[in-house]
Amino acid sequence: AYASERYELISARERDLESMTFERSDGTTLVFLRVEVGPDDDKELVWTLDSPSVYFTPRERDIRDIAYSMSAISSDQIIDEDPDDLTIYGLDNPLGKAVLAFADGTIRTLTAGARTPTRSAFYTRIDDDPKVYAVRTYTIDKIFIRIDDLRDREIKLPNNQEISYFKLSGIQTLEITKMDEDDD
């Protein structure tokens, strides 16, 4: 039954979240942690990818955006108050699960089943609540974030005044050397 109410499944602030573990049906698990960095007199809490290990530094702002979405999750529709059969919602074998740990010791588990027929939401359950909710795809998609999406894609360009040597190899070779004032 459709209701015009708003159901708060998780209602917190991003800064109250300490860790996020995303378990996906493909067997992959991502673990994000908030850790202290910086000198002792000026520690700062930042989000990091704890697992799996990667060869690049994930963008902290992207992880923070995920945490922001995961810290406040709502639905405007209860699909089923007490379902007899979870298979019709894909919740018997969920696509993913988010285990969220908060600073006050609370642990919340969000389970994501199949997409709704309109594909605008996922069938979702929270903790041990039997109700099945429809939660927006935008929010649930965070559980399925690809590690590659956390990579910084910006190419850092050096200040051309600071370049003293440049070599480009390939089919043809191009070599550039900064000349001194007394060079011909």
pLDDT, tens only, 141-183: 999 999 888 887 776 777 777 777 777 777 777 777 777 777 7
pLDDT for position 4: 63
pLDDT for position 3: 46
pLDDT for position 184: 63
Query: What totals of helices (H) and strands (E) does the chain contain, helices first?
Result: 2, 12
CA angle 177, 181, 184 (to 5 degrees): 70
CA angle 18, 24, 29 (to 5 degrees): 50
**Which of 93, 96, 134, 94 lies closest to 117, judged by CA?**
134
- How much of the chain, in percent, has pLDDT values that exceed 90? 65
Q: Which residues of the chain have pLDDT under 50?
A: 1, 3
CA separation for the pair 93, 36 (Å, rounded) = 36
Helix (H) or strand (E) holding 64: helix 60-71
